[in-house]
């Protein structure tokens, strides 16, 4: 039987102050459910929640939360809130 290669641990996420404020403002706007979930994912990860706890809180899957977090770390908040190309 083939063993799965373990994924590296998610490094954690701390939002910049200006990104935190931007997310607070955006959360008050009229949004798609997908965008709202991504905002909430970033906020929960910033609070120190685990990937699993964040996924459960927003009704999503752990890999989705990981992708949003990784996109934020790589390219910033605007990229994390949009669909990947």
Indicate the number of domains in the chain.
1
Q: Is residue 33, in this structure, part of any structural domain at all?
A: yes
Q: Is residue 56, in this structure, part of any structural domain at all?
A: yes
Write the pLDDT tens digit of every residue in 37-72: 999 999 999 999 999 999 999 999 999 999 999 999
Q: Is residue 7, in this structure, part of any structural domain at all?
A: no
Residues of the domain holding 40: 17-81
Q: Is residue 4, in this structure, part of any structural domain at all?
A: no
Do residues 65 and 41 touch, judged by C-beta distance below 8 A? Answer: yes
For 56-65, give one letter per residue: b (16+ CB within 10 A) or e: eebebeeebb
Q: Is residue 49, in this structure, part of any structural domain at all?
A: yes
Q: Is residue 54, in this structure, part of any structural domain at all?
A: yes
Write the pLDDT tens digit of every residue in 27-37: 999 999 999 99
Q: Is residue 43, in this structure, part of any structural domain at all?
A: yes
| Torsion, Cα of 37, 65, 41, 8 (10° steps) | -170
Residue 3's Cβ-side half-sphere holds a number of Cα atoms within 13 Å equal to: 3
């Amino acid at each position: 039987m083939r063993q799965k290669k373990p994924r590296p641990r998610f490094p954690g996420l701390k939002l910049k102050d200006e990104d935190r404020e931007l997310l607070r403002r955006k959360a008050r706007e009229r949004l798609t459910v997908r965008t709202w979930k991504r905002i909430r994912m970033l906020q929960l990860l910033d609070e120190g929640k685990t990937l699993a706890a964040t996924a459960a809180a927003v009704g999503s899957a752990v890999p989705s939360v990981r992708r949003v977090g990784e996109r934020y770390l790589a390219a910033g908040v605007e990229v994390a809130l949009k669909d990947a190309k």
